[in-house]
Chains A and B, each alone.
Chain A
Amino acid sequence: MNVFLAQQADRIELPAIDYAAILPMLIILGAACIGVLFEAFLPKHQRWPGQVVLTLLAIAAAGVALGAYVGGSPAEGTTTLSGTLSIDRPALFLWGTLLALALGAVLLIADRSIEPGGAFVAQAGIAPGTVQDRAQVGSTGMQTEVFPLALFALGGMMAFCSANDLLTMFIALEVLSLPLYLMCGLARRRRLLSQEAAVKYFLLGAFASAFFLYGLALLYGYAGSVKLADIANATAGTDRSDTLLFAGLGLLMVGLLFKGSVGPFHTWTPDVYQGAPTPVTAFMAACTKVAAFGGMLRVLTVAFESTSWEWRGVLWGVAIVSMLIGAVLGLTQTDVKRMIAYSSIAHAGFLLIGTMALTEDGLSGTLFYLLAYGFTTLAAFGVISLVRDSTGEATHLSAWAGLAKRSPLLAAVFTFLLLALAGIPLTSGFVGKFVVFSAALSDGMAPLVVIALVFSAVAAFFYLRVVVLMYFSEPAADGPTVSVPGAFTTAAITLGVAVTLLLGVLPAFALDWAGAGGFAIS
């Protein structure tokens, strides 16, 4: 009892909180909570406008807060909340990228012009195919819970990018994943496919989280701490068990690579991209990739730089497998959404090359690549949502034949985006590949760069196949129509295309931002 009282006497101090630094994330998470309250207390007809205004305002406010902070932020970065969050230049760049991409994705989610009521089901609890389900097809309502869920996912992604210890990272990983699992299952059309996608994503994602957690536990056993800096210190010593270190790192990386849909951990990607509502696919494809690679960059650079010789060989293999699967299986796809999914797997391989470099150029190159790829893929999914027939989106490639004759503008925009994905000069994709590959070259990864170039060429073939199909085939008589998008979708596609073009023509300013500083080590 005496021991107990004596020890209780020392007070625990409030950890220092740098509110200005974490304000953007607090705004997003706070707005998500307010969004839930909107869902609870607003009458049905006010929910959609309320949520749209709240979500867009929150993202804009977070952007302003971020901009205000960046100007005066210390170049070497800062850690706050007892070192659980590290707000440094790469984190700020990733936050900016995430906010901008989420703005576009939310615009796509909010769109109700292409399909009355939007791409989301009115009541997800009604079983597909029942009488009640047929009755709700005509309704113009939607589950407006999508908006707070998207904000929670965004907040989780922001926390994930700046998490400075593995525990925070794990919780952020769950905060970003759970809303995505849910949102995948809410499509208005083809509901069974959508629910299947949600179940697959959830089950495989839960597995990946378990891998991450197991790796975390082993690394804690190795270093006696979950903080990245402590793990880095522990790797400098020699008397600890290497088995724990590399088993832990391996399991941790499986979890991270899964989220980035890399290489052999990609199996969920095509099904989920295809089944999820297209705006959610856009959000997932653009933002999750940014968050996953942001986290991977930080973990590898801050905690495992000194052991890079040991693990780099394995990641070489993973990158090659990822590019191989993406490029080769992408060739055989007959569905546009699945094709973009395989393209994202190939791109994940390219991104991994930059991530492995662990140099300043590698960091800035990967960050730039993430920015460029995010906007291109966002706009691509925006375009895909416009090509429709009576059953919803016409995603089968045969439906896209001769689309240039029906809508030259749409075909031109999509061609431009596909060229950017292929990495043709004057698009952001070319600059992204160039900076990543040159960083890898200067870090002594020439063979890998050669392999990557080969796979780029293979992947370019399936993008060009779609271009040829759109321009040089005769449209089918009962082919799909191209919807005229409303203001929201137009804005999102325009944003994506404009950034893709801008980063292709004038990449210097973005490259400067991306290379403004390294990770805060503390």
Chain B
Amino acid sequence: MAQGGPDAGLGVYLPLVLIFVLALAFATLSVLLGPLLGPSRFNRAKFSAYECGIEPSPQPLVGAGRMPVAYYVTAMLFILFDIEMVFLFPYAVSADALGLWGVAAATLFIATFFIADAYVWRRGGLDWN
């Protein structure tokens, strides 16, 4: 991304923007196309709950659709990996200047981070029930 160096034109970022716009357009289009093109014929069976299960009862106004707090572990793990990635990104771009020493330092960081993962894994935080 920075291969152009400081004085190169900013045109290098144009493809990036184009992709962004394309992605946005694709997402919007796919969402809009469904209801526009699909046939909309409804009957009672189509409106009822899918396949099996008790027919949905009206949800209370406050606190409807709440997620159990157990998912917090998943959210937290995602964030930990996210943060780890942010730290490894600068390492990756300057890896050859850092040499073996850099590898050792990054390994130490990842190893300590894996201690946390080992804990979560052994305690069943990764089980999906």
Contact = CB atoms under 8 A, between A and B. Distances in A.
Contact of A1 (B3, B70, B116): B3
14 contacts: A4-B2, A9-B97, A11-B98, A12-B102, A33-B112, A33-B115, A36-B116, A36-B118, A37-B115, A40-B115, A40-B118, A40-B121, A41-B122, A125-B70
A110 B41 CA distance: 68
Interface of B: 2-3, 5, 70, 94, 96-99, 101-102, 112, 115-116, 118-119, 121-123
Contacts of A125: 70
A126 B2 CA distance: 51
B119 A36 contact: yes
A170 to B, nearest CB: 15
Q: What are the nearest 8 A-B pairs in CB distance?
A: A40-B122, A40-B119, A14-B101, A40-B118, A3-B5, A36-B115, A36-B119, A8-B97
Interface string A123-165: 0010000000000000000000000000000000000000000
Interface string A6-38: 001111111000000000000000000100110
Interface residues on A, range: 10 to 19
B119 A11 contact: no
Given A40-B118, A40-B119, A41-B122, A11 B5 contact: no
A253 B3 CA distance: 43
A37 B5 CA distance: 46
Nearest to B123: A40
B115 A4 contact: no
Given A4-B3, A36-B115, A37-B115, A11 B122 contact: no
A39 interface: yes
A10 B97 CA distance: 6
A12 B97 contact: yes
A229 to B, nearest CB: 24
A37 B101 contact: no
B98 to A, nearest CB: 5
Nearest to A8: B97
Given A3-B5, A4-B5, A11-B97, A37 B118 contact: yes
Interface of A: 1, 3-4, 8-14, 33, 36-37, 39-41, 125
Nearest to B117: A40
Contacts of A36: 115-116, 118-119
B75 to A, nearest CB: 15
A259 to B, nearest CB: 23
A8 B102 contact: no
Which of B3, B101, B115, B122 counts the most A-chain CB atoms under 10 A from its CB? B115
Nearest to A1: B3
Nearest to B116: A36
Contacts of B99: 11-12
Contacts of B96: 8
A125 to B, nearest CB: 8
Nearest to B5: A3
Contacts of B98: 11-12
B16 to A, nearest CB: 19
A14 B101 CA distance: 7
Contacts of B70: 125
A4 B96 CA distance: 12
Contacts of B115: 33, 36-37, 40
A9 to B, nearest CB: 8
Nearest to B95: A8
Contacts of A8: 94, 96-97
A10 B112 CA distance: 29
A11 B123 CA distance: 42
A40 B115 CA distance: 9
A245 B5 CA distance: 35
A10 B98 CA distance: 9
Contacts of A14: 101
A10 B2 CA distance: 19
Given A37-B118, A40-B118, A40-B122, 19 more contacts: A1-B3, A1-B5, A4-B3, A4-B5, A10-B97, A11-B98, A11-B99, A12-B97, A12-B98, A36-B115, A36-B116, A37-B115, A39-B123, A40-B115, A40-B119, A40-B121, A41-B118, A41-B122, A125-B70
A471 B123 CA distance: 50
A41 B116 CA distance: 12
Nearest to B100: A14
Nearest to B121: A40
A372 B5 CA distance: 59
A8 B98 CA distance: 9
A241 to B, nearest CB: 28
Contacts of B123: 39-40
Contacts of B121: 40
A159 to B, nearest CB: 15
A214 B121 CA distance: 36
Contacts of B102: 12
Contacts of B2: 4
Nearest to A5: B96
A328 to B, nearest CB: 41
Contacts of B122: 40-41
B100 to A, nearest CB: 9
A37 B102 CA distance: 25
A12 B2 CA distance: 21
A11 B96 CA distance: 8
A10 B101 CA distance: 14
Nearest to B102: A12
A36 B118 CA distance: 9
Most buried by A among B3, B101, B112, B119: B119
A138 B115 CA distance: 32
B105 to A, nearest CB: 9
Contacts of B94: 8, 12
Nearest to A29: B112
A74 B96 CA distance: 37
A344 to B, nearest CB: 32
